[in-house]
Amino acid sequence: MQIKDIEKADILMNLLIERYKAAHIMHERSLNFAIWILGFAIAMFWILLGKTTLILSQKIVLTIFVVIISFLTKKFLNFIEIGFNKNRMIMVNIEEALGCYKSNLYIEDKALYPEEYKNLDIKKTSHFNSLYFWIWTITIFLVSLIWLEQVVIILKIVRKWFHV
């Protein structure tokens, strides 16, 4: 089957539009999920800051629960990130095929897209890295709050030992 150049361009444009839509959906889905997890964390903070006193076994179970939820959240977001990165590779291939990185093709003396956009280090600028940092920060604060009372008790004992 022979495809004419104009038909190839139409096909590539349609594919690129779909890839851009998919990238936006992946960003939105990951952010919405992270916001949902933040809401869950706020509810946990609310409970822990209340007058609720947890016994040791409850603290251990709650800590395990928070850590597991955090790892599952990271795993879920990582799957979206993998799909996003594969999608980005496809987008760059289509953009290259359309000549978006070639000088003088669309704009005189420059390319439509800068070369560094094609070679962008996703790991350093990743939307997902921000979400991972957010999730681990929330996890550390929740676990700290779960054990805060225990730490205060230990500090009081240490002060008594050293007469501070």
pLDDT tens per residue, range 93-150: 999 999 999 998 889 899 888 888 877 666 666 889 999 999 999 999 999 999 887 7
pLDDT given for residue 161 in this prediction: 85
pLDDT score of 164 more than 70: no
The string of pLDDT tens digits covering residues 19-66 is 999 999 999 999 999 999 999 999 998 888 887 788 999 999 999 999
Amino acid of residue 117: Y
Taking only Cα atoms into account, the Rg of the chain, rounded to an integer number of angstroms, comes to 25
**For residue 122, what pLDDT is reported?**
63
Check: CB of residue 110 under 8 Å from CB of residue 67. Answer: no
SS3 2: coil
Cα–Cα dist 93/101, whole Å? 10
